[in-house]
Amino acid sequence: MAGYWEKKYECAPLHEMKALQSFRLSQTVRRVYENVPHYRKRMDEAGVKPEDITSVKDLYKLPFTYKQDLRDTYPYGLFAVGMDKVVRLHASSGTTGKQIVVGYTENDITVWKDCCARALAAAGCTNEDFMHVSYGYGLFTGGLGMHYGAEHLGMTVIPVSVGNTKRQITIIQDFGSTAICATPSYMLHLAETMEEMGISKDDIKLKVGILGAEPWTEEMRQQIQEKTGIKAYDIYGLSEIIGPGVAFECSEQTGMHINEDHFIPEIIDPDTGEVLPDGVQGELVFTCITKEAFPLIRYRTRDIAMLKREKCSCGRTLIKMMKPAGRSDDMLIIRGVNVFPSQVESVLLQLGNTTPYYQLIVDRVNNTDTLEIQVEISPEMFSDTVKSLETQEKIIKDAVESTLGIAATIKLVEPKTLQRFEGKAVRVIDKRKK
282 binds ligand DLL (CB under 6 A): no
Q: What is the DSSP letter of 107?
A: H
124 binds ligand DLL (CB under 6 A): no
279-299: burial string, b at 16+ Cβ within 10 Å, e else: eeebbbbbbbbbbbbbbbbbb
Cβ-based nearer residue to ligand DLL, 53 or 241: 241
237 binds ligand DLL (CB under 6 A): yes
Cβ-based nearer residue to ligand DLL, 33 or 340: 340
Among 135, 148, 299, 357, binds ligand DLL (CB under 6 A): 135
* Alpha helices in 253-385, H assignment, sequence order: 341-351, 379-382
With contacts defined by CB under 6 A, name the span among 5-13, 116-124, 194-202, 235-243 that binds ligand DLL: 235-243
Calpha distance 60→390 (Å, rounded) = 54
Burial class of residue 227 (count of CB atoms within 10 Å of its CB; 0-12, 13-18, 19+): middle
Q: What is the maximum alpha-carbon separation in the chain?
A: 73
Span between the terminal Cα atoms of the chain, in Å: 51
Cβ-based nearer residue to ligand DLL, 135 or 357: 135
| H or E element, residue 111 | helix 106-122
DSSP-based three-state secondary structure for 181: strand
Cβ-based nearer residue to ligand DLL, 162 or 404: 162
Q: How far is the CB of 301 from ligand DLL (least distance, A)?
A: 5
Q: What is the DSSP letter of 203?
A: G
With contacts defined by CB under 6 A, name the span among 206-214, 271-279, 356-364, 426-434 that binds ligand DLL: 206-214
Q: How far is the CB of 349 from ligand DLL (least distance, A)?
A: 16
213 in Cβ contact with 423 (< 8 Å): yes
Cβ-based nearer residue to ligand DLL, 103 or 237: 237
Calpha distance 193→120 (Å, rounded) = 26
Cβ-based nearer residue to ligand DLL, 50 or 244: 244
Nearest to 192, CA basis, from 216, 174, 165: 165
Among 22, 178, 217, 301, binds ligand DLL (CB under 6 A): 301
Q: How far is the CB of 34 from ligand DLL (least distance, A)?
A: 28
DSSP-based three-state secondary structure for 129: coil
Q: How far is the CB of 20 from ligand DLL (least distance, A)?
A: 24
Q: How far is the CB of 95 from ligand DLL (least distance, A)?
A: 10
296 in Cβ contact with 288 (< 8 Å): yes
DSSP 357-419: EEEEEEEEETTEEEEEEEEEEPHHHHTS-HHHHHHHHHHHHHHHHHHHSS--EEEEE-TT-SP
Calpha distance 374→356 (Å, rounded) = 11
Cβ-based nearer residue to ligand DLL, 12 or 125: 125
Among 116, 180, 190, 238, binds ligand DLL (CB under 6 A): 238
- How many residues sit in the footprint of ligand DLL (CB under 6 A)? 20
Cβ-based nearer residue to ligand DLL, 91 or 389: 91
Cβ-based nearer residue to ligand DLL, 138 or 379: 138
103 binds ligand DLL (CB under 6 A): no
357 binds ligand DLL (CB under 6 A): no
303 binds ligand DLL (CB under 6 A): yes
In the range 307-346, which residues lie near ligand DLL by CB under 6 A? Answer: 324, 327
Q: How far is the CB of 287 from ligand DLL (least distance, A)?
A: 15
By the criterion CB under 6 A, which residues form the site for ligand DLL?
92, 135, 141-142, 212-215, 234-239, 243-244, 301, 303, 324, 327
